[in-house]
Amino acid sequence: MLTVFDTSDVIRKDSFAYWRESVTQAYLPLEFESQSQADFQGRMVKNGCDRLKVSRVCSSRSIVARTATCIARRANGYFFADLLLSGSGIVRQGDRTAFAKAGDVIVVDTNQKFSLDFSEGVDLVCVGFDGSAVRRIVAHTGNPPDLVVRDKAAGRLVAAYISGLAGDLETVGSIADLAADQLPALVARAAAPQAPSTMHMASLAIRIREFVEAEIGDRDLGAKRIAAALGVSRSTVYEAMAAQGLTVAGFIRDCRLRGCIAEFGSANLRDLPTSAVAERWGFRDAAAFSRTFKRMAGMPPGEFRRRLTSPG
């Protein structure tokens, strides 16, 4: 049966809570984070059957997580195959991290913890299906399936199949049983583990880290500038860092925080205001720095600095 969930149908202050409960109702329990819950917007149109559910999902920037608590609440053996129509995302499951861009398909096991970071907002097609066929890959190879299926070879077939299912959601329920047999087999083939990251990508990650550390004071430092300086694409920058279990934004943020902490303890900079230290390390404004620092250290930067420099 076709079902629509739309935050525009609820009052603004309740939109984020409504979205969280709607996704749980449509699929299974997930946790959500958003930088601006009050302004969160999302729309989901879903159809399918018990064995396979298809949704077109558009939402504001958010982080979606399947936690141990969520799994304990309800598990059904599903895998998710998410075709990104626009935007990009960082997917993490276990000790693996991967970057996905428009045209890629994200594949995650809902029986295990995962997170999807859609920092630009997202427009995607999500298909939930029985994961038995994909799990046979694990049993056969001893390795988990790839987190991201690229737009090539078998991956192109998967993307086309998912796009076709989403093309007419009103009638997809009539072929859901057939798709429940076909799509898992396609995903299992496309997500079969590929060769590990090449030495080139590992070397590139080192160059990226060195460049970031050298240019950390630049407030405009980001993937675009890194890519231009190193002569690669932004997606390559994201992929090289993801192969090391890192995100570009996260590595830049951590470098800046480490630099600030080191200078907080410097006797030569004792009289320099905390906001000036933050500015030296590339933070755009004092308020953003204070929020970021408090999330990391559990206290405001001023208090941390006082404790660090106080006698005894």
Mean pLDDT of 128-156: 82
**Per residue, what are the HEC states of the chain?**
CCEEEEHHHCCHHHHHHHHHHHHHHHCCCCEEECCCHHHCCEEEEEEECCCEEEEEEEECCEEEEECHHHHHHCCCCEEEEEEEEECEEEEEECCEEEEEECCCEEEEECCCCEEEEECCCEEEEEEEEECHHHHHHHHHHCCCCCCEECCCCHHHHHHHHHHHHHCCCCCHHHHHHHHHHHHHHHHHHHCCCCCCCCHHHHHHHHHHHHHHHHCCCCCCCCHHHHHHHHCCCHHHHHHHHHCCCCCHHHHHHHHHHHHHHHHHCCHHHCCCCHHHHHHHCCCCCHHHHHHHHHHHHCCCHHHHHHHHHCCC
Close Cβ partners of 154 (under 8 Å, ≥ 6 residues apart): 186, 189, 190
The percent of residues above 70 in pLDDT, for the chain, comes to: 95
Mean pLDDT of 156-170: 92
Residue type (1 letter), 50: D
- pLDDT of 194 over the 60 cut: no
pLDDT (mean) for 294-312? 79
Mean pLDDT rounded to a whole number for the chain: 87
CATH 2.60.120.10 intervals, the chain? 3-190
In terms of Cα–Cα distance, which of 123, 107, 103 is closest to 41?
123
Place of tokens 């409504």: 18
Q: Indicate whether this model's pTM tops 0.85.
A: no
Averaged pLDDT for residues 243-248: 84
Which residue would you say has higher pLDDT here, 142 or 76? Answer: 76
Does residue 197 register a pLDDT over 70? no
For 3-190, which CATH class? mainly beta
- Given a cut of 80, whether residue 172 has pLDDT beyond it is yes
CATH 1.10.10.60 intervals, the chain? 199-309
Specify the higher pLDDT residue, 120 or 92: 92
Which pLDDT value is given to residue 159? 93
What CATH fold (topology level) applies to the domain 199-309?
Answer: Arc Repressor Mutant, subunit A (1.10.10)
Task: Please check the confidence at residue 104 and state whether its pLDDT lies above 60.
Answer: yes
Looking at 111-115, 167-171, 191-195, 281-285, which range is the least confident one?
191-195
* Residues 53-77 pLDDT 10s: 999 999 988 899 999 999 999 988 8
